[in-house]
A and B are shown apart, each in its own frame.
Chain A
């Protein structure tokens, strides 16, 4: 009988082409680009990063340089020309500061605080989450109890009290934000790692004589990464918003170290007069920054979600 059936043991099913790191990145990017809004958001973030960290280059004035400030320039309307001979596109504040320059420098402070708080919280949170998931037993119980407890407290309250304890200043604010936010990373890492832990490949890795830490980082971390990226973007945005809120409430940064929050807080004093530009413009930048970061995070979440794969 001419068999279409082969009596073999070695038929290798034709596997789909192996995904290399580059094709994976390319796929990620093309999936990401499916949302035009998210692409715009990404471009906006890049532009904001440029003007903030390049603030000395792009802004017309150094708002920290008290000598350059002229009281006669106070409360100039947007579009007026001040003593410096250039147009104040967004007007000036009560001290004669060019609003646009102040916003660029303020954005820089906000980014520095948001990014470093996010990075530190990520580092601490991931370490705690991974340790809890890996060692189990009482280590897991104690660590995750603390994390749960902290998560049930709103970050804003925690940060408020911490800033009150630590005092004003950039490092203090970063510290308060880290303490308020690390728990989100720990929770996410622990959750994802617990799911991964139950899978066979971790057990397989543990049955080899590899050291514990190798298994932990080589195997668990890459699988925990996708949800962490999403949490990280959201947390950076919320760190920036939190800092602004704290400064607005008067416990964050003083106006001598302008962040977006302290600028808005300063402008809020003039809200009943006609001088809207003092508070509106820094607020618009704050809003655009936070929303853009969140939109990027949203799209990354959508792309990384295996349920959305088509």
Chain B
């Protein structure tokens, strides 16, 4: 089966006054239709830039310097800018972090959604509004006809995020990239939206890339997980493999520091140090300064390792515990 999304060797860099900074470094993964992939990392790890790179929405001073992004087998990077634009919203769409900011405050919800319909399909305004209403219905918004008449500020945060998801769904895209879409919401609302998204993936066969820093969210939602650190994917595998049998010391540390995945009553462990700045990465392995297993090899050679289905970017991967 052709994957809904296949990313190979994607590399994105930003020109700064002190030369290029690589924010996304040789990232590869693929997502099958109906699957949800969690892209996990701390802030600054390059996960949002990865999402924007897939969309082809990197502006100067940034540029995608290498790699391919295939949507159902078609390489976005080989297309003209105009063809890429026609892919966006139709075959691949995106939902943003802050629902307070993603909708235009001065336009009615219905107008904004209808505009998104009409940009790809030549339908009447009336038909576009109907499609918008159906989309709101799918994401579980009550009284969708009235909601279409509303301005964004009249809706709650959770409702706005549902509107954003509905907008992303309008053209039944093969892939939806969700950039921390529940981070700004209350936990109870977050749960509702996660359930809704899971159902959507199962029902419509849309592949979803769920970008987040929250391991607890992906562990309950995602089928597969990629862990990013300093622009690289350091570990990749199924959710079960990554959560229950982490191989990379970083992943292990992340999991240990999530309260809900840890035994209650114990002091919460932490990963020492903080995410390095991309412009000042150490030589060799980017994680070595914070890693208890680091050796001289880690200082000199960047790790490059793959173990079957799983990929672990480490010289000293942890043994899988039985």
How far apart are the CA atoms of A218 and B165 in the complex, in Å?
47
Interface residues on B, range: 10 to 19
CB of A5 within 8 A of CB of B256, answer yes
Q: Which residues of B contact A4 (CB under 8 A)?
A: 249, 252-253, 271, 290-293
CB of B273 within 8 A of CB of A310, answer no
Q: How far is the CB of B269 from chain A (nearest CB, A)?
A: 4
Q: Which residues of A contact B256 (CB under 8 A)?
A: 3, 5
Q: How many residue-residue contacts, CB under 8 A, span A and B?
A: 40
CB of A2 within 8 A of CB of B270, answer no
B17 in the interface (beta carbon within 8 A): yes
How far apart are the CA atoms of A4 and B249 in the complex, in Å?
7
CB of A13 within 8 A of CB of B274, answer yes
Question: Nearest A residue to B266 by beta-carbon distance?
Answer: A7
CB of A2 within 8 A of CB of B293, answer yes
Q: Which residues of B contact A8 (CB under 8 A)?
A: 270, 272
CB of B273 within 8 A of CB of A6, answer no
Interface residues on A, range: 10 to 19
Provide the main secondary structure of the chain B interface.
Answer: loop
Question: Nearest B residue to A1 by beta-carbon distance?
Answer: B321
- Given contacts A11-B272, A14-B274, is CB(A5)–CB(B17) below 8 Å? no
CB of B273 within 8 A of CB of A3, answer no
Q: How far is the CB of A31 from chain B (nearest CB, A)?
A: 10
CB of A3 within 8 A of CB of B270, answer no
CB of A2 within 8 A of CB of B292, answer yes
- Given contacts A310-B16, A310-B17, is CB(A6)–CB(B270) below 8 Å? yes
Which residues, 1 to 26 on A, are CB-close (under 8 Å) to B?
Answer: 2-9, 11, 13-14, 16
CB of B17 within 8 A of CB of A6, answer no
CB of A11 within 8 A of CB of B270, answer yes
How far apart are the CA atoms of A4 and B271 in the complex, in Å?
7
Q: How far is the CB of A16 from chain B (nearest CB, A)?
A: 8
Q: How far is the CB of B316 from chain A (nearest CB, A)?
A: 10
Which residues, 241 to 290 on B, are CB-close (under 8 Å) to A?
Answer: 249, 252-253, 256-257, 267, 269-274, 277, 290
CB of B273 within 8 A of CB of A5, answer no
Interface residues of chain B, those whose CB is within 8 Å of chain A, are: 16-17, 249, 252-253, 256-257, 267, 269-274, 277, 290-293
| In the complex, the 8 A-B pairs of residues with the closest C-beta atoms, listed nearest first | A5-B269, A4-B292, A13-B274, A4-B249, A11-B272, A5-B256, A5-B253, A7-B267
Question: Can you show 14 pairs from A to B with CB atoms below 8 A apart?
Answer: A3-B269, A3-B292, A4-B249, A4-B291, A5-B269, A5-B292, A6-B272, A6-B292, A8-B272, A11-B270, A11-B272, A11-B273, A14-B273, A310-B17
Other 19 A-B pairs with CB < 8 A, given A2-B292, A4-B290: A2-B293, A3-B269, A4-B249, A4-B271, A4-B293, A5-B256, A5-B257, A5-B269, A5-B271, A5-B292, A6-B272, A6-B292, A7-B267, A7-B269, A8-B272, A13-B274, A16-B277, A310-B16, A310-B17
